[in-house]
Amino acid sequence: MTAEKTDVLQGTLDLMILKTLQAMGPLHGYGIARRIEQVSVDALSVNQGTLYPALLRLQQRKWIRSEWGTSGTGRRAKLYSLTRLGQKKVGEEEENWERIVSTMARFLSPAEQD
């Protein structure tokens, strides 16, 4: 039995990108997408049409920066990394998602409700 890949839900991609850059250091877009898929054990699919607008949005917020460098295969690539503000935002975004997960858990466990 093979599981279908699921598209990344809107709003989750930003945190996944930030956490990937926090854990891995500077990466190019393709590397970020592959790492997200790897961590999700191939349950998620990240396509260019969602990844690059998210990277641009995070740059505009000054949470990440980009600079041209060389990929692991020796090709010229735009490498993304966290800024100081981005490091701070990772913690804030994690707290926000923990609240959301906790709230959703209450909805998904109706036996525990009054």
pLDDT digits (tens, 9 = 90+) for 28-64: 999 999 999 999 998 888 888 899 999 999 999 999 9
Second CATH level (architecture) for the domain 6-105: Orthogonal Bundle (1.10)
Across the chain, what does the average pLDDT equal? 88
Domain ranges of the chain: 6-105
The alpha carbon of residue 8 and the mean position of all alpha carbons in its chain are separated, in whole angstroms, by 9
Residue 81 has pLDDT above 50, yes or no: yes
More confident residue, 16 or 43: 16
Burial class (CB in 10 A: 0-12, 13-18, 19+), 57: middle
66 CB-contact burial (10 Å; exposed 0-12 / middle 13-18 / buried 19+): middle
Question: How much of the chain, in percent, has pLDDT values that exceed 90?
Answer: 65
User: What per-residue confidence (pLDDT) applies to 1?
Assistant: 39
Among residues 43, 66, 42, 38, the alpha carbon closest in space to that of 54 is found at 66
- CA–CA dist 102, 75 (Å, integer): 43
